[in-house]
Structure 1
Amino acid sequence: MTVLVPTLVSSVLLLFGTGLHPLPWLTWLAPLPVLRLAPRVGARVACCAAGLAWLLGQSRMWPYFLGALDMPLPAAVAVILGQALVFALLTCAYRRLLVNGRPLAAAAAVPAGWVALEYVVSLALPHGAWLSLAYTQADVLPVLQTASLTGPWGITFLVMGLPAALAAATTPQVQGRDRGGRGRIGGGRVLVVAAVVMALSLGYGTWRLSQPHPVATARVALLDTDRPDDTADLATTAGRRLLDRYVMRIRALPRSTSTVVLPEKTFAADERTLPVLTGPLRRLAVEHRQDIVVGLVLDRAGTSSNAALGFRAQGGEPVLYLKHHLIPGAEEELRPGGGLTFVSPGHGLIICKDLDFPALVRDYRGHGAAVLLAPAWDFTEDGRLHSRMAVARGVENGLAVARTARAGRLTVSDPYGRVLAEQVTGHDDFTTVTAALPAPAGATVYDRFGDWFAWLCMLLLAAVTIGRRRFPRAGGQVTRNDDPRANEAVVTGETRYSLSPRRGGGGRRWASGMRARGQNP
């Protein structure tokens, strides 16, 4: 029961604190039970408990990976088992550092290691920062502001670091007493550092949210109908009828609307049928003085792309953006694009999954974007999570994001992560959201310096895991034992003596050390 109860508690907290619909406050507690358990059991037991807790905690993701995403079974296994393995290894590293008398290093190793995992995965896999724990806090605005300094990596560090610090500070192994029998050694220092980090983060978030930010008078409208629930080919009667419906809906919008965004892959067109789309929308954009953005599958010279066309209020040829990051498996027949596209000064075009990649959004900000207009298409059940990933990208770079998702949500957010307007899609009739577009925010630290915090975490992880072990300064001897009873130690000044009943003589070493000080054991 000593092992099973913490394992099951952590798994339940992970089950509801992560995933598609996380409860933010549970995420902060999830690692705590297994980390508290780790120094009380052997290394192998601690490793297995942590790995099992993660596997059970991610059990609700299997239907999403294999069903909605149609992810191959080996890929889904690699994602979930890989995370479980890393969590288990970090727990073992935490345990080793803790029993060696390094509670602060132990508390830092867990969040630094998890940030390193998320960052490497974001670079190595075709999903970007999609798996980050940072999105669990997307609705906790004071915490979310940390992203403007560190990107998503700083939020992950806080979420994993606080439970690691609490576990290290409350472990008996770091609660020894000094020579006079006074006070706790180690645990208090860990708590102070954790409290300072959290206070600085929350203080900065509160301050940033309190800054005055003027709202522009321009308004954006997001339109969607999920019927038909597939891409409408403009060569067919159904496709042209859907275009007519969208044109009528746009005409009915208030004239104060300056920008209209339709969903991803709304239409399918080739070089022959493309004028069927461009003619009416170009005339409508000029007539109503509105920028209009529409997503489509565009076939040119036998090559298909996931595209967004932007029709400018002042007329002229529409601008074209091709989706950079295609969904593995679902979009293998499409050609990825490159480069940045602006429909008007400060208004950049981006498509759905491209918002999962912080570097691309940062590139837009570096080229003068103040707003990102994003046609999108979700998988219904992940609509909330994917919308909050877009919100986080806006906070990282000081951008407003207007995202129109089929089978998801229509969301307009400001540079501080505040959702200004939102509606769930999936209805037969049109779903419409309108909101005032926020004025541009100032440049952020993350926009200027990129993933500096992720690199810092990797350096920190290397320092605490392969750094030189601290030996006693007064020539004392430190004994270690993987038996949990061997870890109950007395910290006396410069020397840490084991009370282990194993390895023949732990008690004798303790007694001899006390006699050397002229004390009666």
Structure 2
Amino acid sequence: MATTAVRPSEPAPGRAGRCLGWTLAATVVSGVLFHFGLGFEPVAVLAWIAPLPVLLLAPRVGGWVASAAAFLGYFAGSAGSWSYFLNSLTIPLPGALAILIGAPLLFAATVAFFRRLVRVGRPILATVATPALWTGVLYGVSLLSPVGVMGTFMTSQADHPDVLRIASVSGGWGIEYLVLLAPVAFAAAFAPGRRASANSATPQPAPHASAQPAGSPPAPRGVRTSARAGILVVTAAAAGGALMWGAAAPSGSANHVRIAVLARSQPHWAADPATGAGRQVLESYVDALAVLPPDVRIAVLPEGAFGSDRARLANITGPLSDLARAKRLHIVTGTIVQDPGRTYNTALDVPPTGPIVEYHKWRTGTSPVTAGNDLAFLPGQHIGLEVCMDVNGSSPTSDYAPAGAGLILIPASDEDVDGWQHSRTAVLRGVENGVSVAWSATRGAPTLSDATGHVLADTRTGSTPMATATADVPLGTGDTPYRHLHDWFAWLCGLTALPGLFLTRK
């Protein structure tokens, strides 16, 4: 009896329509979840599930469709940051475009990598290697980028010390890996399997699919039930164990210091007291410092609060020194200092007695100021100085910890919308290296945190003329596994991704 051949390369219209519908739905849902899960003020739990819709979709559609859905989902999810990056004062336009396009491209490549490994029957390798690929590449970007990296999965968890404490062992890269591991494992466990014939105990191809067109991709090998269960159980145990360990944070140090962070809500970059406007800025800070509680021992002002050439620097440090002596107070302020032929973005410690300490910002981005490469401590204390963008990479914080620091004081300047995100990047650096952090930011979120990631006090500029937060801050030990092993986990991720990259070439 004659039969009519059905070519598998021509899917039924109804099936194609359903495929398109599911693709659009996955793209939109992931985009919404990325928007709220990785935004400037993220909902932490959403970061764990934002990749899931496109990961579930990927093994069920073609490679280009999966990659396009992943790219568009991540790109649309970042819409809330487009204006910030394109109009940033610190990130040049080429760098902004690289960030806005590069991150979605990396996510698309990561999803394509996951899809390929699942379809060749390697769900376990897909589970461990997919987040490793993302994390390893992101680590490489952080080393090459002049502005470092922030705003990824690790930063989204920064208000949850039980998650954040993982960074004391693995650095923030362990958090990056873990948050992506959860949706990858779920998607791998529920990836589609190979169908068997209903008329035979031995799986046979259906009559209409017995001949596969030459050059078409191989059919998915499927995922065994034992592999599905193993993926879910092992991932749940690993994630649950890490979070339980993080929740059991050690008690803080008994050595506390009372600190205040202050920032004017009306920004004025590098105010020079030789001008009328500069004198008003200086007077506003002197007035705010004068009414601090008498037990405050350190006050931190923002980056670029003042500016002057070195010959007239006493116009700034003179009034602050008088107040520092009267209140027995260290006053740390960001100051733009101009020398002949050079400009330094500094943090100055104006102490109650002794000489002024000057620290030069290391990470200057594209700014024309001269970068520093030396550490600076408050005299006789285990307290170091940094400036703003210095926290966007592991150093110099990772250099302070072995030098004995237990607390870092950081004048900063943000751009309103990124204030929370940048302050929590500083908190993350503190956890990695076992140091507490005092962060004072114009147009940002002045924050005080301890070495285990607990935010002790914070505030926002804009609600009052002078945003102020005060807390007793314990000095950290500066002794964590990450301090000794540095970026070992990021390198491990790179090695873990290699077998998967090899298999995807076959």
Q: Which residue of 2 aligns with 1:499?
A: none
- 1:13 deviates by 1.1
**Equivalent-residue separation in structure 1 for 2:185 and 2:171 (angstroms):** 22
Instruction: Report matched runs for 1:404-415 at 5 Å.
Output: 404-415=440-451
TM-score, normalization: structure 2?
A: 0.86
1:319 pairs with one of 331, 354, 357? 357
Q: Which residue of 2 aligns with 1:425?
A: 461
Q: Do the aligned partners of residues 131 and 428 (structure 1) sit closer, same or farther apart at CA in structure 2, a change above 3 Å counting?
A: closer
**Equivalent-residue separation in structure 1 for 2:408 and 2:382 (angstroms):** 8
- 1:44 deviates by 1.9
SS at match of 2:378: strand
Match status 1:64 vs 2:84: yes
SS at match of 1:338: coil
- 1:338 deviates by 1.6
Equivalent position amino acid for 2:50 in 1 = A
SS at match of 1:219: strand
1:384 pairs with one of 401, 420, 424? 420
CA contact under 8 A between 1:311 and 1:343: conserved in structure 2? no
Match status 1:195 vs 2:246: no
Instruction: Report matched runs for 1:15-414 at 5 Å.
Output: 15-69=35-89, 71-173=91-193, 184-208=225-249, 211-227=250-266, 229-313=268-352, 315-328=353-366, 331=367, 333-344=368-379, 345-414=381-450
SS at match of 2:294: coil
SS at match of 1:36: helix
**Equivalent-residue separation in structure 2 for 1:413 and 1:10 (angstroms):** 32
- 1:19 deviates by 2.1
Q: Which residue of 2 aligns with 1:513?
A: none
Report the more deviating stretch, 129-138 or 32-41: 129-138
Number of residue pairs matched by the alignment: 462
CA contact under 8 A between 1:384 and 1:408: conserved in structure 2? yes
SS at match of 1:424: coil
Q: Do the aligned partners of residues 468 and 262 (structure 1) sit closer, same or farther apart at CA in structure 2, a change above 3 Å counting?
A: closer
- 1:432 deviates by 1.9
CA contact under 8 A between 1:216 and 1:436: conserved in structure 2? no
Match status 1:451 vs 2:487: yes
CA contact under 8 A between 2:434 and 2:477: conserved in structure 1? yes
Equivalent position amino acid for 2:233 in 1 = V
**Over aligned residue pairs, what C-alpha RMSD do you find?**
2.3
Q: Could you list the runs of 5+ residues in structure 2 that have no partner in the other structure?
A: 1-20, 204-223
SS at match of 2:401: helix
Equivalent position amino acid for 1:413 in 2 = S
SS at match of 1:81: helix
CA contact under 8 A between 2:54 and 2:69: conserved in structure 1? yes
Match status 1:436 vs 2:472: yes
Q: Do the aligned partners of residues 398 and 70 (structure 1) sit closer, same or farther apart at CA in structure 2, a change above 3 Å counting?
A: closer
Q: Do the aligned partners of residues 101 and 379 (structure 1) sit closer, same or farther apart at CA in structure 2, a change above 3 Å counting?
A: same
- 1:69 deviates by 4.0
**Equivalent-residue separation in structure 2 for 1:363 and 1:185 (angstroms):** 46
Q: Which residue of 1 aligns with 2:209?
A: none
CA contact under 8 A between 1:174 and 1:186: conserved in structure 2? no
SS at match of 1:358: coil
**Equivalent-residue separation in structure 1 for 2:38 and 2:195 (angstroms):** 32
**Equivalent-residue separation in structure 1 for 2:233 and 2:268 (angstroms):** 54
Q: Which residue of 1 aligns with 2:497?
A: 461
SS at match of 2:395: helix
CA contact under 8 A between 1:118 and 1:131: conserved in structure 2? no
Equivalent position amino acid for 1:147 in 2 = A
SS at match of 1:324: coil
Q: Do the aligned partners of residues 81 and 58 (structure 1) sit closer, same or farther apart at CA in structure 2, a change above 3 Å counting?
A: same
**Equivalent-residue separation in structure 1 for 2:29 and 2:458 (angstroms):** 34
**Equivalent-residue separation in structure 2 for 1:257 and 1:302 (angstroms):** 38
CA contact under 8 A between 1:174 and 1:184: conserved in structure 2? no
CA contact under 8 A between 1:6 and 1:33: conserved in structure 2? yes
- 1:65 deviates by 0.4
Q: Do the aligned partners of residues 169 and 320 (structure 1) sit closer, same or farther apart at CA in structure 2, a change above 3 Å counting?
A: same
- 1:218 deviates by 2.5
